[in-house]
Amino acid sequence: MGLVLVYLAAGILFAVLLIFLGLQPALLKKLTGYILLFVGVCGIGIYGYGYYTIYENVPVAVMRTLFSVFCMFLGRNEISAIINTPVLKLVPMQILVYLVHLLALYCLASAVAATVGVRLLGRLNLILIHRGNLHLIFGVNDESMEFAHKLQEEKKEIVIFYGDSSAETYNTDILRHGGVLFRDDECKTTDDLLRRLGISKGNRHLSVYCLNTSVSENLRFAEDLRRSLEIQNIDPVQTSLTILCEEEENGQSLQAEGQYGYGSVLAVVQADLISRIMLRECPPYKTIAFREDGTAEENFDAMIIGFGSLGQSVLRNLVMNAQFCGSEFHATIISPNYTKSAGHFFYRYPGIKKNYSIDFIEDNAKSIEVYDYMAANCRTLNYVAVCTGNDKENHEIAAELQDFLSGIGCKAKIVLCSGTGLSYMVPEIMQIKKVPVYTPEYLCSDAIDARAMILNHQYHLKEEKTIEEDWRNCDYFSRMSCRASADFLDAYLYMTGLTKEEAMQDHWYKNDELLENLSITEHLRWCAFHYAMSYQSMPRKVFNQRVEEYKSGKNIRIAKDTVNRYHACLIPWDELDELSRRESEITGKPVDYKDADRDNLRMIPEILKNEANRK
């Protein structure tokens, strides 16, 4: 019986040690530190007592004690030298002695496992990267690590990191999650990197994510890798790119569109990404009520606190997503440096300044003037975006705003945007909910662009190509347009009160009046998108010049000047019939711009059906 207990106890202790070795690195490191301290103190106590009892000489006892304690951590022991001393003869003390030595061996095993394990994992993962599709992340930081872990959980595919020597601090974590780190001192060029990855024409797909904190470095790496892919004759269909950059239109120069490039490109400006997530999590259409005929019962009134890059992006995206038939758009910007920071924005987007009601209060968000403004407009205020750029300041302002607005009966949605992500106030529980930004849902083009790809496909059904083929052939500006349209689709369902399942019916709108009002909203949304892309309404003089060019045989679209960013359709809904009539007379081809907006509504059931079938 006693022998059985020995086996059982020893087995349990060994299992516990194995569990400890499998703990997360941070906890394991902390735990090992505590064990080292415990073993050192106990070792000094045990051997110090034993040697002093035997030799009764302090210097000798000290030296022997230190030697024996260090031996414990090297897998040796001096137990036999002290075990016959009076106290250590006691059974409880003998158990303690062996326990301390066992823990010392555990520390040794942890160190060996950490060193040998990292090497073994590295070699194993290097073997695995030559099988299956690859996800290559340029830039190693906390955010890209967060993204990689979620990517590995969802995709179950290999993730490779490429970074400089500072990335080595993340190597253990990368290896434990099945990834591989290549440093730029190991692979000095992207040609070397491709050879190490084993990418060749037609063998597998490479998804590239440029997530370095330096957007200029992201662009440099993406360009270098594109050159290497072209040299290796890799089919663009095999590649996709997500890149953090300064301008969304940077993606156009990297996409395979009349040039060699990546098969699919998602260019992400961090401020725009956060704004886009804001619109998905807290859409403007949910802040106002709609009648059965699809018209809004109230205007949309927003307040934006802070007008740096985030505040400006929030304004652009609210303009694009808060235009509804029967409603007027208004925004008030709160910024102590408004006149010093807004010049470039309104110079670049003159259509926004000209066509929408935007006021400003050049003061601090906590000022009396701002609170007087909110008190006077509490009945119409729908949306508050806090974009100071500082998380602590955002939270402080939001808490005070929530307290004030709820006290005066204002139910405006409060969202917080900063460089670290998005969060929003949940009034029911008086808490702030944080939304993760670096996730596959928002950084993988096949996820965030899924509906946009289907929508684009609807325009090309006669060509009988796949959704993916149509998307690859879609120019970058049209992709941005499809994304904006796809993001707004749920608003139409909300206006009609229908579920996705109900809307999949062919005649999903109840009557022509509802279709007409939704089409007016679609025209307002389309106009807002173009104003937010720097377009302006085409002056009559420019239109007439383009008519003459067309008549002279030049192959151009009369109504759209992509070079100077003019569009003749950027006019009120009621004026579209006259424009359609005039262009039809000139070209001899039937043109109905109103019906184009109606068609965008009519295709919603097919978009939803395709979306459901692809999940």
The distance of Cα 377 from the centroid of its chain, to the nearest Å, equals: 34
pLDDT tens, position by position, 546-583: 999 999 999 999 999 999 999 999 999 999 999 999 99
DSSP character for 462? G
Q: DSSP per residue over 163-225, as a string?
A: E-GGGGGGHHHHHHTT-EEEETTTS-SHHHHHHHHT--TTT--EEEEE--S-HHHHHHHHHHH
pLDDT tens, position by position, 132-179: 788 999 999 999 999 998 888 887 777 889 998 888 888 878 877 778
Characterize the bridge pairing of strands 566-567 and 560-561: antiparallel
Burial of 140 (0-12, 13-18, 19+ CB in 10 A): buried
Whether 27 shows a pLDDT value over 70: the answer reads no
pLDDT tens, position by position, 102-130: 787 777 666 655 554 444 445 555 555 55
pLDDT at 352: 96
- Phi and psi at residue 180, in whole multiples of 5°? -140, 140
- The one-letter amino acid code at 113 reads A
Question: Token pair of 524, please?
Answer: 């307002």
- Residues 6+ away with beta carbon under 8 Å from 81: 50, 51, 54, 64, 68
Q: Which of 69-83, 99-113, 244-258, 387-401 has the lowest mean pLDDT?
A: 99-113
d(CA 334, CA 311): 10
The secondary structure of 64-95, three-state, reads HHHHHHHHHHCCCCCHHHHCCCCHHHCHHHHH
Higher-confidence residue of 112 and 38: namely 38
Q: Are 179 and 167 in contact (CB under 8 A)?
A: no
Q: Are 402 and 426 in contact (CB under 8 A)?
A: no
pLDDT tens, position by position, 505-537: 766 887 889 999 999 999 999 999 999 999 999
CA nearest neighbour of 359 among 368, 349, 370: 370
pLDDT at 178: 72
Percent of the residues in the chain that have a pLDDT greater than 70, as a whole number: 90
pLDDT at 441: 87
Question: Token pair of 145, please?
Answer: 């690590």
3-state SS, residue 236: helix
Whether 93 shows a pLDDT value over 80: the answer reads yes
Q: What mean pLDDT comes out for the span 49-71?
A: 84
CA nearest neighbour of 197 among 253, 255, 251, 157: 157
d(CA 377, CA 330): 12
* Average pLDDT along the chain: 86
* Band of residue 23 on the pLDDT scale cut at 50, 70, 90: very low
Whether 414 shows a pLDDT value over 70: the answer reads yes
pLDDT at 102: 79
d(CA 180, CA 229): 20
d(CA 594, CA 375): 41
Higher-confidence residue of 452 and 79: namely 452
d(CA 264, CA 254): 9
pLDDT tens, position by position, 573-590: 999 999 999 999 999 999
pLDDT at 6: 55
Q: What mean pLDDT comes out for the span 410-422?
A: 88
3-state SS, residue 423: strand
Q: What are the DSSP E strand ranges found in 306-412? A: 329-334, 357-361, 383-386
* Band of residue 436 on the pLDDT scale cut at 50, 70, 90: confident
Whether 2 shows a pLDDT value over 70: the answer reads no
Q: What mean pLDDT comes out for the span 289-312?
A: 95
Whether 231 shows a pLDDT value over 80: the answer reads yes
pLDDT tens, position by position, 446-461: 888 899 999 999 999 8
pLDDT at 121: 47
Q: What mean pLDDT comes out for the span 260-287?
A: 91
Question: Token pair of 189, please?
Answer: 């060029």
DSSP character for 429? T
Q: What mean pLDDT comes out for the span 601-611?
A: 92
pLDDT at 22: 47
pLDDT at 4: 60
CA nearest neighbour of 432 among 449, 414, 418: 414
CA nearest neighbour of 327 among 355, 294, 299, 303: 299
pLDDT at 131: 65
3-state SS, residue 264: strand
- Residues 6+ away with beta carbon under 8 Å from 46: 82, 88, 96, 97, 100
Q: Are 567 and 559 in contact (CB under 8 A)?
A: yes
d(CA 520, CA 381): 24
Q: What mean pLDDT comes out for the span 303-313?
A: 94
Rounded to 5°, the CA angle 30-32-33 comes to: 65
* Band of residue 347 on the pLDDT scale cut at 50, 70, 90: very high
What is the number of other CB atoms lying within 10 angstroms of the CB of residue 107? 17
- Going along the chain from its start, the domains and CATH numbers come out as 24-115 (no CATH), 129-268 (3.40.50.720), 274-440 (3.40.50), 444-614 (no CATH)
Q: Which of 272-276, 421-425, 524-528 has the lowest mean pLDDT?
A: 421-425
pLDDT tens, position by position, 458-494: 999 888 889 988 988 888 899 999 999 999 999 999 9
